[in-house]
Amino acid sequence: MSAFRRFALGVALAGGTALAAGCAGSPPRLPEPSDGPRTAADWVRIVSARNDSLRTLRADLEISWAPDGETEPQSCRGAVSFESPGLVRLRGTSLAFFAIFDLVVAADGTVWLDLPQEKFGILGDRSDPAWDLLPLSPDRVLTALLGDPRLTPEEVAASTLERSDSLVVVSGDWGRLEIEPETGLPSRWERGAGEVVWSDWGVRSGRATPGRTLLIDPDGGRLEVSYGRFRVDEDLPPGRFSPTIEEDREILTPGEGLERWSRTRINAFRTD
């Protein structure tokens, strides 16, 4: 398996990591509203409010998957850093400590995705729509990492609400968000081609965190993560979100990166 293939598998899952090992205690129940039934906007706000006071987050993780035609899982190590409101650094290394990928979302909106073993990287503005068509999207990473749909006010305003005793569904042209009505925590998010599933919620370091996060592709391929240490609201090292571009790298735009990805016919989630 090439490093590029390992990267495609690895980052897709790492983007879905929700950083919870050894959660203790159950999330608190959501109080009943005092001013009438909740609207779609109310439910989205409840989900997003978990992150209002979050300043920084760091975590170690291990990513595992079953490559095409193989039953034995493969894995890589990972590390992720986040700083509010939207800075992210996500790194993956092989078990032999070779770098597989390094994703940096910088303060000025620049995104750098480095593939050291392939000797090229993708550099472009965070707003470039091509990112959303790659197996890795900065915004998708944040949604999965924080358990936050990150909807725009316009998307929220145009959303509809379905409610049962066991499930709340907020949906719109943007996709679908499923929420546990007892706790107000997200359980599934669908947008574009894929899904993120959060489960086994618990409380750790005063923060509700899922014990398991899956990324699922349209054909049913699954990637899983096991969780190591995570730290909340600690100061991060200076320069954590500053890209480092090596002299020998071929630099592609997000559109060029998408074309190369398509040309190599890599399916980032295929496990069968």
Is residue 3 within 8 Å of residue 117, measured between CB atoms?
Answer: yes
Residue whose C-alpha is closest to residue 57's, from 206, 185, 190: 206
pLDDT at 14: 42
Residue-level pLDDT at 265: 47
Per-residue confidence (pLDDT) for residue 46, from 0 to 100: 97
Bridge partners of residue 251, in order along the sequence: 121
> Across residues 200-229, what is the average pLDDT?
75
User: Does residue 2 register a pLDDT over 70?
Assistant: no
pLDDT digits (tens, 9 = 90+) for 55-111: 999 988 877 766 555 667 777 888 889 999 999 998 888 877 788 889 999 999 999
Q: What is the pLDDT of residue 15?
A: 42
The Cα–Cα gap between 251 and 228 comes to 33
pLDDT tens for each residue of 163-199:
999 999 999 999 999 999 999 999 999 987 778 899 8
CA distance 34 to 47: 18
User: Considering only the top CATH level, what class is 3-263?
Assistant: mainly beta
What are the tens digits of pLDDT across the range 107-159? Answer: 999 999 998 888 899 999 999 988 887 777 788 888 888 899 999 999 999 99
- At position 69, the amino acid (one-letter code) is G
Q: Residue ranges of the domains in the chain?
A: 3-263
pLDDT for residue 221: 61
